[in-house]
Chains A and B, each alone.
Chain A
Amino acid sequence: MAEQTFMLQVITPMGSFYQKDVQRVIFTTTEGDMGVLPGHEPITAILDIGKLQILEENKNKVAAVTGGFVIVSVEEGVRIFADTAEWPEQIDIPRAEAAKERAEKRLQEKQANINAARAEAALRRALLRLEVGQHYRND
């Protein structure tokens, strides 16, 4: 069977992150996880902090994405505009761990002048980085 593929582009403000023909992509939107196969209906959705799972040449690749938005269109395939995107190898694990501790401490202290939503988002980013960085290294 001829494998069907579509174009996937991941673009961040720091430049293009990924650009290839892929078989499937799964990402986390604010409404839940969403998988895209070839021939998907056009849609624009908001990305949440989550994993980006790409199936490329029958191999799975995972990256950590911290929010942004995604556009699926017929002509241009899937374009993901992420705030940041990192491969497992690019993640600085000690830094993510420090960020996790910092965010946890802030949430525990529950001071009035601390923005709980921000600390929570920071914690989720740190946890995502740790998960992707530790479990998906393929070296």
Chain B
Amino acid sequence: MATMREIKQRIRSVNSTKQITKAMNLVSAAKLQKARGKLEEVRPYFNETKHIISTILKYSEVLQHPYLTPREGNKKAYIVLTSDRGLCGGYNANVFKEVLAQAKPQDQVSIISVGRKGKDFFQKQQYHLLAQYQAISEDPTYMDAAKIGELAIKMYQEGTIDELHLVYTSFLSTIQQAPIILPLLPLEPSIFKEETQEKAPLMRYEPNPEEVLGYIIPKYVNSLIYGGLVEASASEQGARMTAMDTATENASTMIDHLTLQYNRARQAAITQELSEIVGGAEALQ
């Protein structure tokens, strides 16, 4: 059995770990609030971009657009959003699992990774990395999203890739997040057909509908990427909060357990000492 001193030391070390996990939990909670605020801000822009694309598609008969036509080729690219730092439970692992299940065959797949964890993982798995970004995932800006989007769209135009997907963790609630694969390019015209029987609005497009569409679709892709980045950062903080909460709870259980052990050891030591004294006194008689 461990000595009293050893147990006491254990308690002290578990206690300091507990303090750290508790602090990390609080930090994540604050960051989560911030990320959720950002999520609300991007929504009007995103919804409106989507709305314009659907209106143009519906009323101006532009159906032969390179961004809309599926291609023969099978070169898929995935933009994978992960975190830079660990200690966030299964957050990254869930994203990887989703990619591994979907991205086949491996020689046709290339990855654009955001976050250190993603880069490390896909390098180890020997996937083809087109680009990798770090230090974005915690506090993403629209400029970051535009940078990623421009690169991906350029590759799509040049024919380096035939399909573009975005993999991120969708934020369902603070304790629930789920990885999602979202196709970005070519755009499915069917997603834009939700709007029902609205009469054709009187609208002129300057310079012409094709060019407006060609300009707006990349903006839409960028806003999707930005939305994904912001949502992923909220999810990351949520996952970390839950993980740290569990860790703090486990530390408390461990401390309880160790305190019990310590008291038992103390009691045993007292009992032993007493019986030694009594035994000694009896021997003298």
Report A's interface with B, CB cutoff 8 A: 11-16, 29-31, 34, 41-46, 68-69, 71, 73-74, 79, 81, 83-84
CB distance from B38 to the nearest CB of A (A): 8
Tally of contact residues, B, Cβ under 8 A: 28
Total cross-chain contacts (CB, 8 A): 72
Cβ-based interface call for B146 (8 A):
yes
Cα distance, A43 to B46, chains bound together (Å) = 20
Whether B48 pairs with A29 at a CB distance below 8 angstroms is: no
18 A–B contacts, CB within 8 A, in A order: A11-B48, A13-B46, A14-B41, A16-B41, A29-B206, A31-B206, A34-B206, A41-B204, A42-B204, A43-B205, A44-B56, A45-B205, A45-B212, A46-B207, A46-B212, A69-B212, A79-B48, A81-B48
Whether A42 pairs with B219 at a CB distance below 8 angstroms is: no
Cα distance, A42 to B55, chains bound together (Å) = 13
Task: Assess A43 versus B49: contact at CB under 8 Å? Given A13-B223, A14-B41, A68-B219.
Answer: no
Cα distance, A41 to B201, chains bound together (Å) = 11
Report B's interface with A, CB cutoff 8 A: 41-42, 44-46, 48-49, 52, 56, 141-142, 145-146, 201-207, 211-212, 215-216, 219, 222-223, 226
Whether B206 pairs with A83 at a CB distance below 8 angstroms is: no
Whether B44 pairs with A16 at a CB distance below 8 angstroms is: yes
**Which residue of B46, B142, B201, B207 is within 8 Å of A73 (Cβ)?**
B201
Which are the 9 A-B pairs with shortest beta-carbon distances? A15-B41, A45-B206, A13-B142, A43-B204, A42-B203, A46-B215, A13-B45, A44-B205, A42-B202
Whether B44 pairs with A11 at a CB distance below 8 angstroms is: yes
CB distance from B27 to the nearest CB of A (A): 23
Whether A71 pairs with B204 at a CB distance below 8 angstroms is: no
Whether A69 pairs with B45 at a CB distance below 8 angstroms is: no
Cα distance, A67 to B275, chains bound together (Å) = 88
A68 neighbours in B (Cβ, 8 Å): 219
